Structure 1
């Protein structure tokens, strides 16, 4: 077996001291354990091939600093490797992390490289089956294009690594793959900006049918064109309406002609009318523009099933796109690609330069220390250590000594004591007081109070001492002891009666481990812990509650603190923020993958918050506000504006979870603004944010996911009064008076 460009080859290219190895690297002669590991694992072999390609291009064309960084990574990787399954997992983790980093550097470099046509070769196994093979100065540009083509027409998850491999992969074909028996292609445009490939193919199912299909790519980065990247949000809506209205009008004219000429059966006419109704309906969409003989156009697609297409009056009703129409609705990136106007290489608008000339004034009182939300009750810990509770009290979760539910929704009562931490679950509450004592009260279903019973408590009961951090899930809790031990309680079954299914629960806290410095809960309630030596552990399983038998997943070392509740992110000593899972997918383009190792998402972050459905809002030290933005399949952070000091994401409804969220942000001038953002966000910049007025000093966001609610919000004005949002319909555009209601704290 010969390994293509393994780690040893990369090290040789960097002139690092290694055993004498030929450039081809015969794996039969591999001596070092890491070399044998690379030779024996196909996934690692491919990862190393990709890494070497990316490194060589970056070092030759992009950055002189790449070689030094690569040397450091290679040395660290060799030193850290240990033979065995754990060592292989770590090696895969390191390769994926490094390859992702090099890919981002390649994409950044592609924004600066000269525009040149791509090299197109022909590869195929038989005379009637020919596919293009793209070669580009950057290996990643070619790989992206070839991957799409070979996945569509050759039924391969990814393109082969080289032209020779591609020829070998297509050689044994029997002439038919994935229903495609014949295919040929034409290069419609290859000007260095845009690559347009047109395929003429024969697809076979129950019978065979010829079809034509276009694929268009940005030749500068290899990404397939997507409407969300080409058009402004308003422009895409207008173009979609134009496209569907135009083909619907033409369709109606064809139907009228068929009726006059009696050239179509009644059931076919009914089908055509049904198609037109769908084209103009609420969920109508628009295809990516195609390059026709006379310019850009939109291809209408089919109405009938393929068995009836030879007689389909509405088949392929193409809609031409005049240049003036495109100019009015494309963004700068789209005009650069489709109309060759300018050289814009990124669909995201350029970030503004934000700068604070003077530091923010200190808030007069800053009354809120933390805020917690249960299903129908809320807890707020004030700066002076007082704990206020309001909302439902049917399980005694307000801690006032009774289980009566005759509450006034916004009238807060004080829980006796002085507290430092607070948390809320489903009908129960928990707090750590200033002496480190841990208290719980409310519902004790599934032993959620950890007090040795399943009896509800209407007053706080102490279950431990010496604790410094607290978190609560729906039916279980977590607390970090000052000695570094991590304890959890509730939700764990002790036994089950096979006769009637009755369960008993472990009623006391049990230790999960030692040596921890910080804990947080992720977006699905999964436990995340930072060890005292800077390593991140996460627990996952069929149930989010971790148990003694659950094995944590270790994500890496060198971290100083976790980013916050619901965030899958942590900081390193240099101030860089590293994210993983759903948070990473909301901040960087990971192609929808949630299992990547932690990746650096940048520096200078002062705050970052996450809401379900993959939305992150983040503030940087310079006052810039950033928000998750989706352009087709690409999801990443884009800048919204300058002059912000705090941000939160809240759900739009009180009773149910919605795909819609509102961004609420506190500006430097103490004004509060808000605007809607969908779970699949459109333009991040608010054209007209809702101005909720001046005079605010603090806003805090709480999880609030229990009972299928979105995140919740608590605010403090400059006089120290507390306010909470009220439920509103999704389409409301509220003022501060409409949207907020004051929390009655009484005389404290």
Structure 2
């Protein structure tokens, strides 16, 4: 017996499940699959369809699992295995410049970092800064390049890059050929010789230093041509800013050390230290870039601290640095909003009704617009509701529930056999505009819609 009520019941705030940051931007994926971005937006890297920056998180889509942040772009993996990018990023045969997410691939299993992702067949693919440093001639597709066999991961930082190789070995490269130039710091850097250079599982690269965690939990750090130095044991993740380091231990404690002029160590001071300082317990992941830091707690709270000149912390107006961790708030996340859908009966005798909920401020303002119901079948065909049946969506003449903006309820169908629509996903929302076409476009551009029900 099918008896579902989608979008109703107790309200639980969505929590953060994945996050990343770069010099001017940050992003997070919440437990409801929504993707949020904030910070500088000169290249459209927030993905909100504009170049207007944001000092607090802005929702740009749903259905996501992971996100990574580059210097002028972002990349995200959806739960269906598709890979999406936006902003300005170098691809195999083009420079992608988009202010909204664009699909660049499919069949992916994991987004490793801003430079690489793995597919379900085990192949590793790269783009962006990694492509400027390396061309492995392993082939690719129209959008992305494939790393050669034996190369498991690559991370880049400016003109420097690090590879994680089969067996946990590390290898470094640089685009500079001038040993006296500081850009050539990696030319003679520690490569893949010596007993210490085995067993690495995760690497981090800063401007002047690198670090790596091995499969035995030991953390190693080095600069230029130096041999890696043991920091300690019990670690499972490390992150690098320009000149500071964050590390996470297996017991959930976080540690920070390095330069601290903008409070990027998060210890409520502006004092540098070369000795790891504890930040407390209950952490699940850390991230660092330039002179700021992010950390995710085990309860799904995202904390940010350090420099905030571009709104990269997501905690409010740009301005003074924050030397202590502050929570990042995702306004409206996890609330029911926009409406509900109710389904009763069996698949062959299904009754389905829906209700769209317009925000009070839009009702009070007298704004013109339309509520919409959109159904998308597994083959991608789109339908809108027009009593008493569904019609294919015609962008030139879209169909809506009503001819004005109002809270609307509709009984879609009663005791009907919906087997032919198995796998169809229903979305509800509303848009602002003088005509149905304008309001449909505004709804899509503003992401003012949500998925409320799937026919199983």
TM-score by length of 2: 0.50
User: How far apart are 1:442 and its partner, in Å?
Assistant: 1.7
User: How far apart are 1:525 and its partner, in Å?
Assistant: 6.4
Are 2:26 and 1:378 aligned?
yes
Q: Corresponding residue for 1:663?
A: 265
Q: Which digits, 9 at most, give the CA deviation of each residue in 1:143-167, with x for residues without a partner?
A: xxxxxxxxxxxxxxxxxxxxxxxxx
Query: For the Cα contact (< 8 Å) 1:609–1:618, is it kept in 2?
Result: yes
Q: Which digits, 9 at most, give the CA deviation of each residue in 1:388-425, with x for residues without a partner?
A: 1123444332223x2241x5421421423222x31122
Q: Corresponding residue for 2:103?
A: 462
**2:226 aligned to which of 579, 596, 608:** 596
User: How far apart are 1:741 and its partner, in Å?
Assistant: 6.2
Structure 1 or 2: larger helix share? 1
Query: For the Cα contact (< 8 Å) 1:609–1:648, is it kept in 2?
Result: no
Q: Corresponding residue for 1:531?
A: 165
Quickly say closer, same or farther: Cα 1:579–1:683, change in 2 above 3 A: closer
Query: For the Cα contact (< 8 Å) 1:366–1:698, is it kept in 2?
Result: no
Query: For the Cα contact (< 8 Å) 2:45–2:73, is it kept in 1?
Result: yes
Q: Which digits, 9 at most, give the CA deviation of each residue in 1:113-169, with x for residues without a partner?
A: xxxxxxxxxxxxxxxxxxxxxxxxxxxxxxxxxxxxxxxxxxxxxxxxxxxxxxxxx
Task: Tell me how far apart the structure 2 counterparts of residues 457 and 698 of structure 1 sit (CA, whole Å).
Answer: 34
**1:403 aligned to which of 20, 26, 50:** 50
Task: Tell me how far apart the structure 2 counterparts of residues 580 and 408 of structure 1 sit (CA, whole Å).
Answer: 35
Alignment map for 1:24-35 (pairs within 5 Å): none
Quickly say closer, same or farther: Cα 1:616–1:697, change in 2 above 3 A: closer
Are 2:91 and 1:450 aligned?
yes
How many residue pairs match? The answer is 291
Quickly say closer, same or farther: Cα 1:515–1:612, change in 2 above 3 A: same
Alignment map for 1:579-728 (pairs within 5 Å): 579=220, 581-582=222-223, 594-613=224-243, 615-616=244-245, 618=247, 645-648=253-256, 658=261, 661-664=263-266, 674-678=268-272, 681=273, 698=283, 700-705=285-290, 710-714=291-295, 722-725=302-305
Q: Corresponding residue for 2:317?
A: none
SS in 1 for 2:38: strand
User: How far apart are 1:559 and its partner, in Å?
Assistant: 0.8
User: How far apart are 1:717 and its partner, in Å?
Assistant: 9.4
Quickly say closer, same or farther: Cα 1:524–1:576, change in 2 above 3 A: farther
Task: Tell me how far apart the structure 1 counterparts of residues 118 and 84 of structure 2 sit (CA, whole Å).
Answer: 13
Higher relative contact order (CA 8 A, sep 6+): 2
Task: Tell me how far apart the structure 1 counterparts of residues 170 and 116 of structure 2 sit (CA, whole Å).
Answer: 17
Are 2:82 and 1:428 aligned?
no
Alignment map for 1:10-89 (pairs within 5 Å): none
User: How far apart are 1:379 and its partner, in Å?
Assistant: 0.8
Task: Tell me how far apart the structure 2 counterparts of residues 568 and 747 of structure 1 sit (CA, whole Å).
Answer: 36
SS in 1 for 2:102: strand
Q: Corresponding residue for 2:127?
A: 489
Task: Tell me how far apart the structure 1 counterparts of residues 308 and 76 of structure 2 sit (CA, whole Å).
Answer: 31
Q: Which digits, 9 at most, give the CA deviation of each residue in 1:632-672, with x for residues without a partner?
A: xxxxxxxxxxxx822356976xxxxx5x65433xxxxxxxx
CA RMSD of aligned residues (A): 4.6
User: How far apart are 1:479 and its partner, in Å?
Assistant: 3.2
User: How far apart are 1:715 and its partner, in Å?
Assistant: 5.5
SS in 2 for 1:533: helix
User: How far apart are 1:430 and its partner, in Å?
Assistant: 0.7
Task: Tell me how far apart the structure 2 counterparts of residues 580 and 685 of structure 1 sit (CA, whole Å).
Answer: 16
SS in 1 for 2:44: coil
Are 2:202 and 1:562 aligned?
yes
Query: For the Cα contact (< 8 Å) 1:724–1:743, is it kept in 2?
Result: no
Quickly say closer, same or farther: Cα 1:684–1:721, change in 2 above 3 A: closer
User: How far apart are 1:366 and its partner, in Å?
Assistant: 10
Task: Tell me how far apart the structure 1 counterparts of residues 247 and 146 of structure 2 sit (CA, whole Å).
Answer: 34
Are 2:146 and 1:511 aligned?
yes
Query: For the Cα contact (< 8 Å) 1:431–1:470, is it kept in 2?
Result: no
Q: Corresponding residue for 1:87?
A: none
Task: Tell me how far apart the structure 1 counterparts of residues 232 and 242 of structure 2 sit (CA, whole Å).
Answer: 22
User: How far apart are 1:481 and its partner, in Å?
Assistant: 3.8
**1:744 aligned to which of 330, 350, 355:** 330
User: How far apart are 1:713 and its partner, in Å?
Assistant: 2.3
TM-score by length of 1: 0.33
Quickly say closer, same or farther: Cα 1:517–1:458, change in 2 above 3 A: same
Quickly say closer, same or farther: Cα 1:675–1:560, change in 2 above 3 A: same
Q: Which digits, 9 at most, give the CA deviation of each residue in 1:43-63, with x for residues without a partner?
A: xxxxxxxxxxxxxxxxxxxxx
Task: Tell me how far apart the structure 1 counterparts of residues 142 and 292 of structure 2 sit (CA, whole Å).
Answer: 30
Are 2:49 and 1:441 aligned?
no
Quickly say closer, same or farther: Cα 1:511–1:436, change in 2 above 3 A: same
Q: Corresponding residue for 1:126?
A: none
Alignment map for 1:96-495 (pairs within 5 Å): 367-400=15-48, 402-405=49-52, 407-419=53-65, 421-443=66-88, 448-450=89-91, 452-454=93-95, 456-467=97-108, 468-472=110-114, 477-490=115-128
Task: Tell me how far apart the structure 2 counterparts of residues 702 and 461 of structure 1 sit (CA, whole Å).
Answer: 25
SS in 1 for 2:162: strand
User: How far apart are 1:454 and its partner, in Å?
Assistant: 3.6
Query: For the Cα contact (< 8 Å) 2:57–2:330, is it kept in 1?
Result: yes
Task: Tell me how far apart the structure 2 counterparts of residues 483 and 610 of structure 1 sit (CA, whole Å).
Answer: 30
SS in 1 for 2:104: strand
Quickly say closer, same or farther: Cα 1:537–1:456, change in 2 above 3 A: same
User: How far apart are 1:380 and its partner, in Å?
Assistant: 0.9
Task: Tell me how far apart the structure 2 counterparts of residues 685 and 721 of structure 1 sit (CA, whole Å).
Answer: 21
Quickly say closer, same or farther: Cα 1:531–1:616, change in 2 above 3 A: same
Q: Corresponding residue for 2:376?
A: none
Q: Corresponding residue for 2:176?
A: 542
User: How far apart are 1:569 and its partner, in Å?
Assistant: 3.9
SS in 2 for 1:403: coil
User: How far apart are 1:441 and its partner, in Å?
Assistant: 0.9
